[in-house]
């Protein structure tokens, strides 16, 4: 087995930037991406804030070279995946075993919604074959084809832990010497389906979200994509660059408590974090920073906070929810936040938890509220906890 899995490249697009450099600037300036709905044709315009990527589909078509019939999820995925692959700068890629493990939860739902508005009004206006490729897996296939990846490709869809699980799986493929290089992460676009669904659950905040605050009222939905390029030690040695770090630990646990709610005592969250630490051979005191799942809902933050208290008490590392910048990007969140985690290691930074005011009464800790630079970040834990109790924690470490 390959002993170490390195991070050779990173790419990201979200409401606060179209690439890695723009994200770093937004973090330092504490510029969040939430605002009024501008692109979705929905009755919730002016009522529910979201974190939209600031590029139109047409602008991303021009950037990627894809055709206009492709979904927004595909466009977001290709923008970030291309950046990650270019950043890795791997020569003679075709001589290596290369895979693409990508996650999403909405697939081509945006295009399906557009189709059925017209089709239901007049079924002579379209043919159902025009929506045959809107499932989640088709997004991965299109992007893999554009990247020229032929050796391995798969799609993972486990709700909000989807792209964390994609990275987890990619690391195992390299460790078991199935592949040499894997572009891993995920993408999701805002759709009326997800906006209406989360609104029905009554967990959307009508103001900008404030994760881990005593008076939090819900989440803001976002969109975007984030990918890491994972490589074997053999490939990393051949590159003329320093890695972002290594993926040292990962674990997926499921408490199966409820279809959408986290268990009150955070059992799944606790087991995921504990298992990732064991895999990495680390103690809780070794973690330099936690990128919280931190959606801003009363249930999630209480469950995650309870699990952190159980595992880390009495010494807590700095922690924050970057969803206070990007909103909750659903299936993309684990990939986007994995990028943020390796950037924290490379640049020695800790991100602030925006809009935090009041510490949660049941917790003995509070998130970081200031942008900190010049930090020695050795190990970052990134949490992604999904519906159905599907909880994943990743740990990234200095190489």
Query: Buried b vs exposed e over 293-322: b needs ≥16 C-beta within 10 Å?
Result: bbbbbeebbbbbbbbbbebbeeebbbbbbb
Q: Per the structure block, which two tokens stand in for 192? A: 């009326």
Cα 395–chain centre separation: 14
Task: Single out the residue of 148, 167, 41, 33 nearest to residue 95, CA to CA.
Answer: 148
Q: Given the residues 293, 315, 347, 391, select the one marked as catalytic.
A: 293
Residue 293 is a catalytic residue:
yes
Q: What is the DSSP string of 138-187?
A: HHHHHHHHHHT--SEEEEE--GGGHHHHHHHHHHHHHHTTS-SEEEEEEE
Q: Which of 23, 134, 136, 160 is catalytic?
A: 160
**Would residue 69 show up in a list of annotated catalytic residues for this protein?**
no
160 is catalytic: yes
CA dihedral 232, 233, 238, 243 (to 10 degrees): 90
Residue of 134, 136, 209, 328 with catalytic role: 328
Residue the block writes with tokens 């723009």: 22
Q: How far is residue 71 CA from its own chain's centroid?
A: 19
Query: What is the per-residue DSSP string for 2-41?
Result: -S-EEEEEEEEEBTTBSSHHHHHHHHHHT----B---SS-
Nearest one of 357, 385, 360 to 369, comparing CA atoms: 357
Question: Which residues are tagged catalytic?
Answer: 160, 293, 328
């Amino acid at each position: 087995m390959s002993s170490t899995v390195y991070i050779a490249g990173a790419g990201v697009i979200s409401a606060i930037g179209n690439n890695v450099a723009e994200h770093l600037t937004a973090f330092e300036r504490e510029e969040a991406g939430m605002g009024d709905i501008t692109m979705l044709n929905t009755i919730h315009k002016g009522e529910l804030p979201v974190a939209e990527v600031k590029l139109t589909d047409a602008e991303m078509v021009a950037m990627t070279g894809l055709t206009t019939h492709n979904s927004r999820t595909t466009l977001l995925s290709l923008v970030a995946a291309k950046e990650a692959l270019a950043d890795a700068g791997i020569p003679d890629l075709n001589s290596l075993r290369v895979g693409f493990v990508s996650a999403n939860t909405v697939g081509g739902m945006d295009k399906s919604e557009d189709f059925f508005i017209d089709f239901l009004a007049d079924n002579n206006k379209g043919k159902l074959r025009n929506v045959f490729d809107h499932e989640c897996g088709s997004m991965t296939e299109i992007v893999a084809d554009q990247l020229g990846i032929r050796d391995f490709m798969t799609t993972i869809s486990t709700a909000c832990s989807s792209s964390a699980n994609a990275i987890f799986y990619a690391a195992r493929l390299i460790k078991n010497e199935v592949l040499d290089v894997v572009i891993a992460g995920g993408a999701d676009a805002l759709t009326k389906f997800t906006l209406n669904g989360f609104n029905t659950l009554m967990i959307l905040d009508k103001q900008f979200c404030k994760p881990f605050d005593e008076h939090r009222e819900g989440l803001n939905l976002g969109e975007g994509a984030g990918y890491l390029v994972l490589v074997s030690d053999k490939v990393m040695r051949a590159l003329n660059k320093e890695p972002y770090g290594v993926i040292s630990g990962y674990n997926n646990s499921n408490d199966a408590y409820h279809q959408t709610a986290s268990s009150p005592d955070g059992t799944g969250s606790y087991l995921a974090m504990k298992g990732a630490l064991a895999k990495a051979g680390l103690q809780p005191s070794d973690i330099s920073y936690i990128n919280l799942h931190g959606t801003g809902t009363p249930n999630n933050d209480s469950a995650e906070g309870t699990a952190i208290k159980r595992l880390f008490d009495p010494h807590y590392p700095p922690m924050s929810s970057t969803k206070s910048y990007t909103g909750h990007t659903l299936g993309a969140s684990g990939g986007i936040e994995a990028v943020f985690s390796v950037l924290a290691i490379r640049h020695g930074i800790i991100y602030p938890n925006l809009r935090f005011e009041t510490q949660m009464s049941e917790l003995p800790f509070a998130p970081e509220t200031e942008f900190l630079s010049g930090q020695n970040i050795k190990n970052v834990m990134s949490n992604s906890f999904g519906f159905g109790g599907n909880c994943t924690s990743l740990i990234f470490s200095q190489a």
